[in-house]
Amino acid sequence: MDTCIICNDDIQNGSKTVELREKGSIGINNASIERGDTIVARSGQLVHLHCRRSYVNPLVIKGLKRKSTSPAPLATPPTLRSEKQFSFQEDCLFCGNSTIETTAKRKLFDVHAVQTTEFQTTVEQICIERKDEWATEVKGRIEFARDLHAVDALYHSSCSTNFRTGKNVPQLFSPKSDKSQIKRGRPNTNDQHFLKVLDFLEDNDDEQLTIKDLVDRMKALCGDEAYSQPYMKQKVQEHYGSSILITELNGKQNVVTFRQTASTIIHNFYKESQLKKSDEDSKLFLLKTAAALIKSEIRSMPVDKNYYPSNNDILSHEKHIPESLAVFLKILFSEKDASLIISSIGQAIMQATRPRLVIEPLQLGLAIQMHHMFGSRFLVDTLSNMGFCSSYSEVQKFETSAVISKQENTSNHYDESHCLQYVADNVDHNLCTVDGNNTFHGMGIISCITPGIEKAPIHIPRLDVTTEEILACGQINMYYYNADKHKGFASLKFPELQSLKGRVFNNSWRIDALRHVTRQLKSPIPEWSGTMQMFQKGSSTGVSDVTFLPMIDLNPSDMSCIYSTLMFVSKQASRQGRTPVITFDQPLYWKSIMITSGEECSNIIVRLGGFHTQMSFLGSIGRIMSGSGLKEVLELIYAPNAVTHMLYGKAVSRAVRGFMLVDTALHTLMTNEIFGHNVLEEHENEINHSPSIEHPLLTEACEIYEHLQEEKISLQDALESQTLQAIQELLQKKRNELKQSRTSKLWLSFLDMVAILKRFLIAERTGIGCYIYQH
What confidence category does residue 169 fall into, taking pLDDT thresholds of 50, 70 and 90? confident
Q: Provide the pLDDT for residue 746.
A: 93
**pLDDT(263) > 80:** no
* In-domain check, residue 108: yes
Round to whole Å and give the CA distance between 301 and 73.
63
* In-domain check, residue 178: no
Cα–Cα nearest to 147, from 169, 175, 118, 168: 118
Q: Is the CB of residue 529 less than 8 Å from the CB of residue 437?
A: no
Q: Is the bond leading into 461 cis (omega within 30 degrees of zero)?
A: no
What confidence category does residue 413 fall into, taking pLDDT thresholds of 50, 70 and 90? low
Round to whole Å and give the CA distance between 416 and 439.
41
Q: Which residue would you say has higher pLDDT here, 301 or 591?
A: 591
Looking only at the bridges linking them, the beta strands covering 252-258 and 419-429 are unpaired
Round to whole Å and give the CA distance between 312 and 120.
53
Q: Is the CB of residue 330 less than 8 Å from the CB of residue 342?
A: yes
* In-domain check, residue 101: yes
> How many structural domains compose the chain?
5
Round to whole Å and give the CA distance between 60 and 69.
14
Domain boundary among 608, 630, 658: 608
| Domain match, 348 and 445 both | no
Bridge partners (DSSP) of residue 246 are 256
Round to whole Å and give the CA distance between 651 and 595.
32
| Domain match, 515 and 637 both | yes
Which segments of 541-686 are extended strands (E)? 545-552, 581-584, 605-608
Q: Is the bond leading into 58 cis (omega within 30 degrees of zero)?
A: no
pLDDT in tens, 461-519: 998 888 888 888 778 888 888 876 666 666 666 666 655 555 555 566 667 777 777 77
Residue 370 DSSP SS3: helix
Q: Provide the pLDDT for residue 386.
A: 94
Q: Provide the pLDDT for residue 74.
A: 40
Round to whole Å and give the CA distance between 73 and 84.
16
Q: Which residue would you say has higher pLDDT here, 38 or 443?
A: 443
**pLDDT(611) > 60:** yes
| Domain match, 399 and 529 both | no
Average pLDDT over residues 701-706: 80
Q: Provide the pLDDT for residue 106.
A: 39
In total, the chain counts a number of residues equal to 775
Domain boundary among 384, 408, 432: 408
| Domain match, 399 and 330 both | yes
What confidence category does residue 431 fall into, taking pLDDT thresholds of 50, 70 and 90? low
Cα–Cα nearest to 461, from 409, 512, 412, 507: 409
What CATH code is carried by the domain that includes residue 194? 1.10.10
Mean pLDDT of all residues in the chain?
80
* In-domain check, residue 267: no
Beginning with the edge strand found earlier in the chain, give each strand of the sheet holding 605-608 in spatial order.
545-552, 440-450, 419-429, 581-584, 605-608
| Domain match, 316 and 441 both | no
Pure H helices in 275-355? 279-300, 311-315, 323-332, 339-353
| Domain match, 79 and 193 both | no
Question: Residue 334: what are its φ and ψ, rounded to 5°?
Answer: -100, -5
| Domain match, 603 and 615 both | no
| Domain match, 344 and 198 both | no
* In-domain check, residue 3: no
| b/e sequence 746-770, b meaning 16+ C-beta within 10 Å | ebbebbebbeebbbbbbbeebeebb
Q: Domain of 761?
A: 508-538+611-774
| Domain match, 470 and 339 both | no
* In-domain check, residue 758: yes
Q: What is the largest CA-CA distance in the chain?
A: 152
Cα–Cα nearest to 563, from 583, 593, 534, 543: 593
Q: Is the CB of residue 609 less than 8 Å from the CB of residue 423?
A: yes
Cα–Cα nearest to 424, from 598, 551, 605: 551
Q: Counting runs of H as helices and runs of E as strands, what totals does the chain give? A: 31, 11
Residue 581 DSSP SS3: strand
Please report, as a single letter, which amino acid is at residue 65: K
The CA-atom distances, in angstroms, between 137 and each of 17, 155, 729, 755 are 26, 14, 114, 100
Domain boundary among 362, 389, 408: 408
DSSP state of 488: G
Predicted TM-score (pTM) of this structure: 0.55
Round to whole Å and give the CA distance between 122 and 544.
61
| Domain match, 604 and 616 both | no
* In-domain check, residue 287: no
Round to whole Å and give the CA distance between 220 and 85.
37
Q: Provide the pLDDT for residue 425.
A: 92
pLDDT in tens, 353-382: 888 888 999 999 999 999 999 989 999 999
Q: Is the CB of residue 55 less than 8 Å from the CB of residue 117?
A: no
Question: Which range, of 233-247, 311-325, 600-614, 753-767, averages the lowest pLDDT?
Answer: 233-247
What confidence category does residue 208 fall into, taking pLDDT thresholds of 50, 70 and 90? low
Write the secondary structure of 201-268 as one string of H (helix), E (strand) and C (coil).
HHHCCCCCCEHHHHHHHHHHHHHHHCCCHHHHHHHHHHHHHHHEEEEEECCEEEEEEECCCHHHHHHH
pLDDT in tens, 647-681: 999 999 999 999 999 998 898 888 888 877 665 45
Average pLDDT over residues 206-231: 82
* In-domain check, residue 700: yes
| Domain match, 452 and 586 both | yes
Cα–Cα nearest to 350, from 387, 309, 385: 387
pLDDT in tens, 46-97: 888 878 878 887 777 777 776 666 554 443 444 444 445 788 888 898 888 8
| Domain match, 592 and 618 both | no
Round to whole Å and give the CA distance between 81 and 720.
114
Q: Is the CB of residue 488 less than 8 Å from the CB of residue 594?
A: yes
